């Protein structure tokens, strides 16, 4: 029977940490995508805001105020996208680091399992060689006993 991988518990913990980092990355990515969608919608609204052909001074002021408000909102939206992208970058780096830690232990586990298989095969071969040796010894004894008759 092969011995257990001694770092199996640590590998489980690192796998959990990697999954949590991947979940945080997915959450921040969704947040960034939502911020980018809001920014595009604001940009589209600003691009679609046109001056009416016939308007008085009050209407003109309202359109200008609306465009200024949309412009300010667009600046805020773009700032939110940049902040969200920074959060995605941090989460991506954390996930990559967690993945590297997990992968390192997975490689050690693979080496351990390969060594255990070699050990098991070697032990099996010793048993097979012993069985073959006993059979050969039994045949030699049988052949010697038949010659006495």
52 DSSP assignment:
-
Which of these CATH numbers, 1.10.3660.10, 1.10.287.1700, 1.10.260.40, 1.20.1250.20, describes 8-115?
A: 1.10.287.1700
Q: How far apart are CA 13 and CA 10, in angstroms?
A: 5
Q: How large is the greatest C-alpha to C-alpha distance in the chain, in angstroms?
A: 134
Q: How many Å from the N-terminal Cα to the C-terminal Cα in the chain?
A: 47
Can you tell me the distance from the alpha carbon of 97 to that of 102, in angstroms, rounded to the nearest whole number?
A: 9
pLDDT tens, position by position, 1-37: 468 899 999 999 999 999 999 999 999 999 999 999 9
User: What are the sequence ranges of the domains in the chain?
Assistant: 8-115
45/35 Cα distance (integer angstroms)? 15
d(CA 26, CA 20): 10
Q: Tell me: the pLDDT tens digits for 68-127? A: 999 999 999 999 999 999 999 999 999 999 999 999 999 999 999 999 999 999 999 999
pTM assigned to the model: 0.72
């Amino acid at each position: 029977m092969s011995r257990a991988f001694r770092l199996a518990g640590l590998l489980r913990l690192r796998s959990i940490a990697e999954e949590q980092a991947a979940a945080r990355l997915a959450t921040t990515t969704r947040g960034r995508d939502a911020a980018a969608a809001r920014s595009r919608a604001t940009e589209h609204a600003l691009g679609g805001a046109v001056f009416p052909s016939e308007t008085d001074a009050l209407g003109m002021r309202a359109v200008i105020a609306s465009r200024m408000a949309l412009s300010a909102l667009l600046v805020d939206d773009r700032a939110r996208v940049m902040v969200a992208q920074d959060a995605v970058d941090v989460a991506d780096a954390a996930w990559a680091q967690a993945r590297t830690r997990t992968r390192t232990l997975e490689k050690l586990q693979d080496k351990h399992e390969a060594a255990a298989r070699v050990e098991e095969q070697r032990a099996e071969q010793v048993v097979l060689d012993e069985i073959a040796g006993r059979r050969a010894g039994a045949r030699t004894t049988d052949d010697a006993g038949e010659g006495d008759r």
